Amino acid sequence: MRLALAQLNTTVGDLTGNCALLRDAYRRASDAGADLMLAPELAITGYPPRDLLAKRRFVQDNLRALDELAGAVGETGLLVGYVDNNPNRPGRDYLNAAALIHRGKIVARRYKTLLPTYDVFDEDRYFQPAEANTIVEFAGVKIAITICEDIWNAEDRGSGRLYRRDPVEELATTGQPNLILNISASPFHLGKESLRSEMLRAVALKYGVPLAYCNLVGGNDELVFDGQSLVFDAAGKLLTQGAAFREDLLIVDIPGASVPPVVPAVHCAAIHDALVLGLRDYVRKCGFKSVVLGLSGGIDSAVTAALAVAALGRENVMGVSLPSQFSSQGSLDDAKALAGNLGIRYEVVPIQESFAKLRGSCQELFRGLPEDTTEENMQARIRGAILMAISNKFGHLLLTTGNKSELAVGYCTLYGDMNGGLGVIADVPKTMVYEIAGYINRDRRIIPEASITKPPSAELRPNQTDQDSLPPYEVLDVILKRYIEESQSAAEIIAMTGYDEKLVRDITRKIDLNEYKRKQAPPCLRVTTKAFGIGRRVPIAQRYVE
């Protein structure tokens, strides 16, 4: 059998656009002589549709789109994801479905059994799980059709199993398939590509059956889907692999010749490419064409600006320096040099006068009280207001430039540097920001050397550095990873790292206390196993301390 895997970048809710992508890929697959083309999970609606499913017309429109798509299908079959009505009660209204289409007709419908409801997933909110699935015969081949999570619950995963059922085992036991197919919308996080490849290879090898896995690609809100679709033969040897972070159409014969495994990209390269794709798609799918951001001369804004240029082109990026009396000449020079290296529009809007007037307006009210972070935050909020004004006036999307380390401990200002429509590096720890900067500079100097080597500083008071308030980022990021991503307690972190108890407990306390800030932050692109946002739901008003 000749398979085609259409690794598509769909847009949630764009039924017409998504079907156009499907028809174009189908024509190319048919021209290549494919017997069957696979498309990603929920390719017609886009993934994840979330509460669009509360709109009954949306679901019915998706079904009409499926019928219209079926009319364009000829001798090459098509396996495509969509939303189906659930005819049985009690139960959820809808089913996460896959349709097998051939010669203008839907010849089989199969439904997702395992509905992930953890981390960034919330499928049990919308869908009814399949009670049972059976083998489908197509072109003389007995096929086991599975949808994303259905293939992630093998018994040999041990304690990693989340469900009592194993849909692949059920299909293999009852139907003895000749081929396993999986259509998927599996979002990226650091290390996901290796984990996924090892798991799929193990499934093919366990059942002695070729396996084809077609994954979504592109950014939808906070989630970035990396593609990297895979096909393994019955011996667990790789037959083909899709491109990372871009659309692709794979054509593969089963059985066929194996290819060498693709060497995974280094971490900073994968994170870079994920952020570029996520930023490009967020801007494009939200109807913007250009972005604006503040340039402080520091590494965070420099990396964000470079990512924006890679995603959108230099003509669609505007950098703004907003100096105060505390801004060093070196920072101003670094911001200007960065803008020149990137070739972006660069403007300078001083805030000294605005800050003096705001401080003077509050002088009587604050009489007798010493200056503190209140006045520091005034500066950040003036900058935020100016950047939002530029966003409004020119129609640019404002990007925030704060990193995960700062956001974790609240080293950021509400309605100031947190203003914006997207947190590009808000899931990137500070130490990784430095790694990405090195990757950006791999061929030529784009980010000035001083932005990388000078001590990080908000420059909101004389001689300020981040380490006045925070431990070294090499230490902080270890604590944050263990506490946020690995769910270790303060006591466990102290025991396993040997770090000072007072320091660790101070950091974990800051993480807990600043949940209210993060709830008001813009969406952030997810690249780690636990990002702030939809995948982390911690109460704001709570008093539990470990």
Q: Where among 222, 256, 290 does a domain terminate?
A: 256
Question: What is the domain-level CATH number for residue 49?
Answer: 3.60.110.10
Tell whether 156 is covered by a domain.
Answer: yes
**453 and 345, same domain (yes or no):** yes
Residues 452, 449: Cα–Cα separation, whole Å? 5
For residues 221 and 286, the answer to whether their CB atoms sit within 8 Å is no
What pLDDT digit, counting tens, does each position of 243-263 carry? Answer: 999 999 999 999 988 888 777
Tell whether 500 is covered by a domain.
Answer: no
Look at residue 3 in the predicted model and tell me its pLDDT.
98
Look at residue 544 in the predicted model and tell me its pLDDT.
87
3-state secondary structure of 71: coil
Look at residue 156 in the predicted model and tell me its pLDDT.
59
**366 and 431, same domain (yes or no):** yes
**245 and 283, same domain (yes or no):** no
Measuring CA to CA, which residue among 263, 260, 264 is closest to residue 274? 264
Tell whether 309 is covered by a domain.
Answer: yes
**369 and 409, same domain (yes or no):** yes
Nearest 5°: CA angle at 365, between 364 and 366?
A: 90
Q: How confident is the model at residue 148 (pLDDT cuts 50, 70, 90)?
A: very high
Domain count, the chain: 2
Q: Where among 207, 222, 256 does a domain terminate?
A: 256
**321 and 432, same domain (yes or no):** yes
Kindly name the residue from 19, 123, 148, 237 that is annotated as catalytic: 148
Measuring CA to CA, which residue among 98, 69, 76 is closest to residue 1? 76
**44 and 128, same domain (yes or no):** yes
**166 and 95, same domain (yes or no):** yes
Tell whether 503 is covered by a domain.
Answer: no
Share of the chain above pLDDT 70, in %: 98
Establish whether 285 is a catalytic residue. Answer: no
Q: Sign of torsion, CA 51 53 56 60?
A: positive
Residue 159 has pLDDT above 70, yes or no: no
Kindly name the residue from 55, 75, 105, 112 that is annotated as catalytic: 112
The rounded mean pLDDT for the chain is 94
Kindly name the residue from 41, 123, 149, 376 that is annotated as catalytic: 41
**17 and 99, same domain (yes or no):** yes
Residue 428 has pLDDT above 70, yes or no: yes
3-state secondary structure of 26: helix
Tell whether 361 is covered by a domain.
Answer: yes
**279 and 231, same domain (yes or no):** no
**6 and 104, same domain (yes or no):** yes
Question: What is the domain-level CATH number for residue 298?
Answer: 3.40.50.620
What pLDDT digit, counting tens, does each position of 15-44 carry? Answer: 999 999 999 999 999 999 999 999 999 999
Establish whether 148 is a catalytic residue. Answer: yes
Q: Where among 424, 442, 468 does a domain terminate?
A: 468
Q: How confident is the model at residue 153 (pLDDT cuts 50, 70, 90)?
A: confident
**166 and 214, same domain (yes or no):** yes
For residues 439 and 310, the answer to whether their CB atoms sit within 8 Å is no
Burial class (CB in 10 A: 0-12, 13-18, 19+), 409: buried
What is the domain extent for residue 424?
270-468
Tell whether 149 is covered by a domain.
Answer: yes
Look at residue 387 in the predicted model and tell me its pLDDT.
98
**362 and 234, same domain (yes or no):** no
Residue 435 has pLDDT above 70, yes or no: yes
